[in-house]
């Protein structure tokens, strides 16, 4: 019974997480592919992605929130 309750309570948080990751992916594709080829998420560590995004934020014209969504997408890959 507890497992059923856990399964029922998690879909919204899983759905929200998936929605954020998809939003991050869309921002990554839309804002980063205009000037250069896209990199696979596993090409860089989380710290390297943070540095890359900090460096490119102004050129890509993204907000801090958008940058965080992109970072979440790039670093969530298993």
Helix (H) or strand (E) holding 34: none
Place of tokens 């929605």: 19
Read off the pLDDT band of 77 (50, 70, 90).
Answer: confident
Rounded CA gap, 57 and 41, in Å? 17
pTM here is 0.81
What is the longest distance spanned by two Cα atoms in the chain? 52
pLDDT of 9-20, one tens digit each?
445 688 999 999
Q: Are the C-beta atoms of residues 53 and 64 closer than 8 Å to each other?
A: no
pLDDT of 61 over the 50 cut:
yes
pLDDT of 20-57, one tens digit each?
999 999 999 999 999 999 999 999 999 999 999 999 99
């Amino acid at each position: 019974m507890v497992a059923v309750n856990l399964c029922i309570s998690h879909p919204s948080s899983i759905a929200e997480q998936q929605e954020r990751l998809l939003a991050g992916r869309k921002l990554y594709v839309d804002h980063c592919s205009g000037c250069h080829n896209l990199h696979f998420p596993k090409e860089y560590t989380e710290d390297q992605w943070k540095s890359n995004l900090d460096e490119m934020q102004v050129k890509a014209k993204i907000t801090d929130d958008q940058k965080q969504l992109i970072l979440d997408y790039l670093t969530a890959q298993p």
